[in-house]
Chain A
Amino acid sequence: MIDHSATPTLLTQLNALTGGLFLLSTFGVIAVRQVLGCLKMFIIQSLLLSASALFLAYYYSSVHLLAVAAIALGVKPFLIPYLLRRTVGEELTSRREISQVLNISTSLLIAAGLTVFSYFVAKPLLSVSGGIITAVNLPIGISALFIGAYVLTVRREAVPQTIGILTMENGAFFAGISIASGLPFIAELTAAFDALIIAVVMGILIRKIHERVGTTAVGGMKALKEE
């Protein structure tokens, strides 16, 4: 996609605002202390993802992106939380502090560092090509990807780790809608479907772990390791 103009318009400013809020909600996944809070942050993040897809659809006048926004809106903020609730059960809503390796303020600092790093990663790509929209979406998408990976390593519980993976996918898509908007429609559809299966399979596994081990603090499972 080639940008029509490099000057900021209302639409590109709105998209930049959405991008900023998207990044903020990603930080939120790290900052909240409870499982349910994590899920709420993910829902907000997914809504912002669909909003950005909607703005981009209007900006590029692309029916394709409109469909992407609709799929993302249907699947991510509504269907996935519903299915997680169905499969995981009461463990999802329990008011309990999440155990993690590093405390939250250190984590936020590291997340800020990761965001700066993702601008470094995106810079050579943006200097090759890309306009005003890509310059917002690509680095923010990459930082959501990195922050999601960070969540996976420090949060020692199953549900937050699931949210971490879904955050990473949201990040990849947030970057993707600005750089690969012409992707075959079926690929977008199957990818959204794929996120759904991730949520279901991880939900089933969480329930099995809870039944068998009695806790969902997967960080404590250390039977399998090298001598």
Chain B
Amino acid sequence: MELIFILIIPIAAALLSLVPAGKKFASGITIAGAVAVFILTLRAVFAVAGGRELTAVRNWISSDGLGVLILLLVAFVGLTSAIFSRGYMGRIVEAGKLRKVRRYYFRYNLFVFSMLSIPILSQVSLVWVLVELTTLLSVLLVSFENTAEALEAAWKYIVLTGMGAAFALLGILILYWGMHIAGGEAFTWAGLIKAAPAIPPALLKTAFIFILIGFGTKIGLVPLHTWLPDAHSQAPAPVCALLSGVETTTVLYVVLRLLPVLEASKTINTGNWFIVSGLISVGAAAFLLIQVKDYKRLFAFSTIEHMGIIMVAAGLGGFAGHLGAVYQILTHSITKSLSFFAAGSVFLLLGSRNISSVKGLIKTSPITGAALLIGGLAIAGAPPFAVFLSEFSILKAGIAGGNYLTIGLLTVFIVIAFCALMFHVNRMVFGKPAQEPLNPGLPPAAIVALVLAVIPVILLGFYIPGPLNKLLLYAASSLGR
């Protein structure tokens, strides 16, 4: 039952956000809805960690370990972003433009709805529609600030991902064709895995290539990534946290779901497809990280890097590789949302997106400086934060599997990316302040969001709670055959 409520609540919150009732009503409703969704998701996590698969409507709405993990991430980032939005919108939108704020929350809730429903729905053809909806419902959030740059970013976003969606649609239709030939009954993830050995390999391979190109656009795999740094840097910071932290992940989840389906066929070298496309992304992103001038683009390129790392880990295969992949999904989402909240706080303080105009943050605003430093260190993969552990587990899995070349390249790229990220973050946090801040301090809601976001980033570096650990194990096992 939890799953149905998780789908209903954001839609209700979206509709209520449009009610013209006071200045803080829309944000209050959104936060309340996000809290409710988060609590329901925790219930789902405990149920799945207890070894039970959640089914609301058979063959349509159900979720297993991997699905619930993604659900948890979307619910968590959806909550912290809702809180951060309250502070951010209060500063960005001029007082009195209440209609604009209401529309923002309406779209925000619908966008969160589309992402929550992807891991919940098990009907593959509907998953395609929802992936397309995540784009369509977030485009107008990307163009929210209505500047020429924001509109350009939104246009590139919808054109490239719309093109990808059409490719993925044909891929999914071919997949259905294959399942039909194989005599499968239900076009669900589980049904596909069951029918996979009988699907003709030619169909499976063509379908996979179309889906990889199509959804690869959305995930931001190089060379299909060109829209990503634009959209992820021009959107308002709380939306960036959602786009970078969880939207890419939910689409990556769809591609990862195909892994056990493809491995049924011996003629397709699935692992290599994943490793090669992943390594290209990590490598290109590592070098592009060096030249950025805009600190939000910095974190956007880091997202491309992390998507690549997850693809490589999934391609390495074996239970250890799959566990590394789902672990990296978890740590990336929570850390990236913190990084974008920190970036958004810097923007609220200084009103500039340039790295060169930000100096000595730790003196002008200790909270923002500390958040940016922790976010930067954590996302770059420094110990003792969570990303370090997950990257380490991937490297370990690769070496144990004897993939020395892949791991060698991956290590080099991660080190380059680490140095590039730290170089930029270091310049922004330390040194002598270059300018007086526009605003004296951060809005209280933004501080609450930063604190909430930083807790798991630090905690998961030391300790993984029992149910979460179980969830990761279940998620990893659903990637294998």
A interface residues, Cβ below 8 angstroms from B:
1, 121, 124-125, 127-129, 141-142, 145, 148-149, 152, 158, 161, 164-165, 168-169, 171-173, 175-176, 179-180, 182-184, 186-187, 190-191, 194, 197-198, 201-202, 204-205, 208-209, 212-213, 218, 221-224, 226-227
Contacts and interface: CB of A to CB of B under 8 A. Distances in A.
A80 B275 CA distance: 41
Contacts of B187: 183-184
B173 A201 contact: no
B166 interface: yes
Interface string B117-151: 00000010110110011001001100100111101
B148 A213 contact: yes
A221 B180 CA distance: 45
A128 B129 CA distance: 28
B148 A184 contact: no
A78 to B, nearest CB: 21
Contact of B139 (A164, A169, A205, A213): A205
A221 B155 contact: yes
Given A152-B159, A180-B177, A197 B133 contact: yes
B173 A172 contact: yes
Most A Cβ at <10 Å: residue of B133, B151, B174, B203: B151
Interface in B181-240: 181, 187, 200, 202-203, 206, 229-230, 233-234
B170 A141 contact: yes
Contacts of A209: 151, 155
Nearest to B172: A180
A179 B159 contact: no
A205 B206 CA distance: 34
Nearest to B288: A226
Nearest to A187: B125
Contacts of A125: 174, 202-203, 206
Nearest to B161: A165
B291 A226 contact: yes
B170 A205 contact: no
Given A198-B136, A205-B155, A169 B166 contact: yes
A226 B128 CA distance: 31
B293 A208 contact: no
Contact of B176 (A128, A183, A205): A183
A78 B358 CA distance: 52
13 contacts: A121-B206, A125-B174, A169-B169, A173-B169, A182-B180, A183-B173, A190-B126, A198-B132, A198-B162, A201-B136, A201-B139, A205-B139, A205-B158
Contacts of B293: 227
Nearest to B124: A187
A222 B147 CA distance: 13
Nearest to B155: A218
A195 to B, nearest CB: 9
Given A172-B173, A186-B126, A165 B136 contact: no
Contacts of B140: 201, 204-205
Nearest to B158: A202
B151 A213 contact: yes
B189 to A, nearest CB: 15
A203 B114 CA distance: 21
B113 interface: no
A171 B173 CA distance: 12
Ranked nearest first, the 8 interchain pairs of A and B with the lowest CB-CB distance are A168-B166, A187-B125, A179-B177, A221-B152, A176-B173, A180-B176, A128-B200, A172-B169
Contact of B170 (A128, A145, A213): A145
Given A124-B206, A125-B206, A180 B173 contact: yes
B167 interface: yes
A168 B171 CA distance: 13
Interface of B: 123, 125-126, 128-129, 132-133, 136, 139-140, 143, 146-149, 151-156, 158-159, 162-163, 166-167, 169-170, 173-174, 176-177, 180-181, 187, 200, 202-203, 206, 229-230, 233-234, 288, 291, 293
B129 A191 contact: yes
A212 B146 CA distance: 8
A205 B151 contact: yes
Contacts of A161: 159
Contacts of A164: 163
Contacts of B203: 125, 128-129
Contacts of B230: 224
Contact of B166 (A165, A201, A202): A165
Nearest to B171: A172
Given A124-B202, A190-B126, A205-B151, A175 B173 contact: yes
Contact of A187 (B126, B136, B151): B126
A218 B157 CA distance: 12
Contacts of A218: 152, 155
Contacts of A198: 132, 136, 158, 162
B202 A128 contact: yes
A203 B148 CA distance: 16
A164 B291 CA distance: 33
A190 to B, nearest CB: 5
A152 B174 contact: no
Given A164-B163, A172-B169, 18 more contacts: A125-B202, A128-B202, A129-B200, A148-B163, A148-B166, A165-B166, A169-B166, A180-B173, A184-B187, A194-B129, A198-B136, A198-B162, A201-B158, A209-B155, A213-B148, A223-B149, A224-B149, A224-B230
B44 to A, nearest CB: 24
Nearest to B160: A152
Contacts of B152: 218, 221-224
Contacts of B143: 205, 208
Contacts of A180: 173-174, 176-177, 180
Contacts of B167: 145, 149, 168, 172
B166 A197 contact: no
Contacts of A173: 169
